[in-house]
Chains A and B, each alone.
Chain A
Amino acid sequence: MNAVELRELVPRALSVLVRRGADFATAEDAVQEALIRALAAWDDELPADPTGWLITVAWRAFLDMTRSDAARRDREVRFDTDPPADAIPNADDTLRLYFLCAHPDLTSSSAVALTLRAVGGLTTRQIAQAYLVPEATMAQRISRAKRVVAQAGVDRPGDTRTVMRVLYLVFNEGYSGDVDLAAEAIRLTRQLAALADDAEVHGLLALMLLHHARRASRTRTDGSIVPLADQDRGLWDTELIAEGVDIAHAALARDQLGEYQAQAAIAALHADAPRVEETDWVQIVEWYDELLRFADTPIVRLNRAVAVGEADGAPAGLAALAQVDERVPRHEAVAAYLHEKNGDLELAARLYAAAARNAPNLAERDHQTRQAARLNQHLQQHRT
């Protein structure tokens, strides 16, 4: 059993302990303790019933923790010391764990951290490394989150929608460390899709798979960005694309459209084009119009303007861009692209330079600087 398979068992064990009456915070610590012991013990020999083993060890750890707590308080505790008789994990309890960890009272960074630990089975150290924060800071964030959940959570936990937002963030903001957070987000979304019968969860899963499939082509080895149009489509993972497209189709067939399915449809249309010239931009614009019904944000409108520029030409794209709030991040980058396409290279070069100044990260800054330099070189060669 590898570490990922082992971590699959974590939410099941935790949900059994909670169902058994253990308080969430202590139960979560107990399962982590059991997980660490399992990592050491299972190297030699895998138990016949790994889930049962984990639950039993976690339950004993919980009792130890409660007893030593109780001893400090000099109080009597009465807990059944036998392993729980109802030690069979059930799907509803596991789903409820997802809801608890995405509780609306939690800040998004806390919900992300708690989900990765309590549902994902990652250690605090792994989560801290992934988000580039000190381990002590992450430990505090997680224990505060558990206190919030313990106080407010049980009566009105989050719902599928809040869980999806958390998983979307995990996928989107994975940085570094020894854990692949994008893959982890996909794993957890797969689990959620199996637990919750919701077309949008399948839409989110499809969206993640379709983006993940292009990962190898999105950056060069030095970390620089490769725009969609320049990506080597031979590097795209065709199996993941096929799976993503299938899941998206099946979700859309249920006729319960939502923003994740609309985004997945757009991603599927990109993935479908063997060459960038074969992209069906007209349909992509139609899907952006659908997406606007669910999420009318400046970012969606900005991306739509790019698609309109490809479908109907640069002037139409610029007209669509004129309707977008100029303060939205990457506005200058899109304006530069559309003006270049429209033949106004001087303006485009200035806008690329502005886009570089206002870029939200170094990779994008470098990318926009390269674009400005490319156009300025071109302009200079044609002036002389």
Chain B
Amino acid sequence: MAKYLLLKHYRGAPAPVNNVPMDQWTPDEVEAHIKFMNDFAGRLESSGEFIDGQALSPDGAWVRYDGEGRPPVTDGPFAETKDLIAGWMIIDVDSYERAVELAGELSAAPGANGEPIHEWLEVRPFLGAPSNFTH
């Protein structure tokens, strides 16, 4: 088994095919989308592949150490930041192929006109613990 992070972006991913902001969808389309997302997580839970899923607020700040005895420096949020993560799902699956398959299914979530959004999702393998057979 290997863990993968499926990352969803507010900004920074290539534009999806069906690129209409959600508040411009009809209420039924919004409903169908929310149901799809809930069902997807539920399906992964029952298949034993779901670890965690969280959504992030678009707010936030950059923070760095500013030297002994000083408070940390905070800055932002920056409108020009290219990459803004919206949320993630962590899955534990048998293979990279399975991770890609699931990300593909998630990307098919319905949007405007009930058509799949074709949203680009980032699939990132976890660096796992060293295995016992290799040393």
B residues in contact with A374, CB < 8 Å: 27
Contact assessment for A362 and B55 in the assembled complex, using a CB-CB cutoff below 8 Å: yes
Contact A366 B23 (CB under 8 A): no
Q: Are B57 and A373 in contact (CB under 8 A)?
A: no
Tell me whether B55 and A377 are in contact (CB under 8 A).
Answer: no
Residue B59 is within 8 A (CB to CB) of chain A in the complex: yes
Q: B24: CB under 8 A from chain A? A: yes
Interface positions, chain B 83-122, Cβ under 8 Å from A, are none
| B72 contacts A by Cβ under 8 Å | no
Query: Is B30 an interface residue when CB atoms closer than 8 A count as contact?
Result: yes
Interface size on B, as a range, is: 10 to 19
**Interface size bucket, A side?**
20 to 34
Do B27 and A353 touch across chains, with their CB atoms under 8 A apart?
no
Contact status of A373 and B23, CB under 8 A, knowing A222-B35, A222-B38, A366-B34:
yes
Q: Is A357 an interface residue (CB 8 A)?
A: yes
SS class, residues of chain A in contact with chain B = helix
Task: Assess the A224–B34 pair: CB atoms within 8 A.
Answer: yes
Q: A358–B58 Cα gap in the complex (Å)?
A: 7
The answer to whether A356 and B23 touch (CB under 8 A), given A370-B30, A373-B29, A373-B30, is yes
Q: Which of A222, A356, A377 contacts B27 (CB 8 A)?
A: A377
Across the interface, which residues of A come within 8 angstroms of B22, CB to CB? 356, 369, 372-373
Q: How far is the CA of A352 from the CA of B21 in the complex (A)?
A: 13
Cβ–Cβ < 8 Å partners of A356 in chain B: 22-23
Say yes or no for B25: interface residue by CB 8 A criterion.
Answer: yes
Contact digits for A357-384, partner B, Cβ 8 Å, 1 yes 0 no: 1101010011001101110110000000
Docked complex Cα distance between A369 and B37 (Å): 15
Contact: B57 with A369, CB < 8 Å? no
B26 interfacial contact with A, CB 8 Å: yes
Q: In the docked arrangement, what's the CA distance between A20 and B25, Å?
A: 67
Q: Which residue of B lies closest to A357 (CB)?
A: B58
Asked if A370 and B58 sit within 8 Å, CB to CB, the answer is: no
Q: Which of B26, B38, B59 contacts A373 (CB 8 A)?
A: B26
Instruction: Chain B residues near A366: list those with CB within 8 A.
Output: 30, 34
Q: B123 to nearest A CB, angstroms? A: 22
Shortest distance from the beta carbon of B74 to any chain A beta carbon, whole Å: 16
With the chains together, A357 CA to B57 CA distance in Å? Answer: 8
In the complex, whether A95 has a CB less than 8 A from a CB of chain B is no
By beta carbon, the residue of chain B nearest A356 is: B23
CB within 8 Å for A369 and B26 given contacts A222-B35, A357-B58:
no
Chain A residues contacting B55 (CB-CB under 8 Å) are: 362, 365
Closest B residue, CB atoms, query A375: B23
**Is the beta-carbon distance between A376 and B30 smaller than 8 angstroms?**
no
A349 within 8 A of B: yes
Given contacts A222-B38, A369-B30, A376 and B23 within 8 Å (CB-CB): yes
Can you pick out 24 interface pairs between chain A and chain B where the beta carbons lie within 8 Å of each other? A222-B35, A222-B38, A223-B38, A224-B34, A353-B21, A356-B22, A357-B58, A358-B57, A358-B58, A358-B59, A366-B30, A366-B34, A369-B30, A370-B27, A370-B31, A372-B22, A372-B23, A373-B22, A373-B23, A373-B26, A373-B27, A374-B27, A376-B23, A377-B27
Q: Which residues of B contact A (CB under 8 A)?
A: 21-27, 29-31, 34-35, 38, 55, 57-59
Residues of A within 8 A of B (CB): 222-224, 349, 352-353, 356-358, 360, 362, 365-366, 369-370, 372-374, 376-377
